[in-house]
Amino acid sequence: MPRTIVKTSPISEAINRRFFVAIDMLVNLGKIDSLSHFCELHNLSAPRYREMRLGYGITPKPGYQPRYKNLEVEALYITVANYPISAHWLLTGRGEMMTDKK
């Protein structure tokens, strides 16, 4: 059976990148220990998100095409519901990333 190729839109790619920027910020602020820790805390697949980070993270691996193209809605919800990350920024790239300036 041939492998189905899933394409992403520029919008979903930008949201993916902002998610990994936000995760790095949360690590830098000491809110979480790592991406794997975030996944463990919230029952998400760490291998999936580590693979996605290779394609969409702060320093993506050149030419790398992760199998997973889009974040799970749960990951987006968890990020804005449990951490000081702006949903408006995460989805649109507009405004400030952090909701709490402290």
Distance in angstroms (rounded) separating the CA atoms of residues 2 and 72: 24
Of 13, 14, 35, nearest in space to 79 by CA:
35
Residue 59 carries which DSSP code? Answer: S
- Model pLDDT for residues 25-58, shown as the tens digit of each residue: 999 999 999 999 999 999 999 999 999 999 999 8
Distance in angstroms (rounded) separating the CA atoms of residues 19 and 89: 10
What percent of the chain has a predicted confidence (pLDDT) above 90? 75
Q: What is the torsion angle, in degrees rounded to the nearest 10, for the CA atoms of residue 13, residue 18, residue 21 and residue 25?
A: -160
- Model pLDDT for residues 71-94, shown as the tens digit of each residue: 999 999 999 999 999 999 999 999
Q: Tell me the whole-structure pTM to 2 decimals.
A: 0.89
Mean pLDDT, residues 17-27: 97
Of 1, 6, 10, nearest in space to 92 by CA:
10
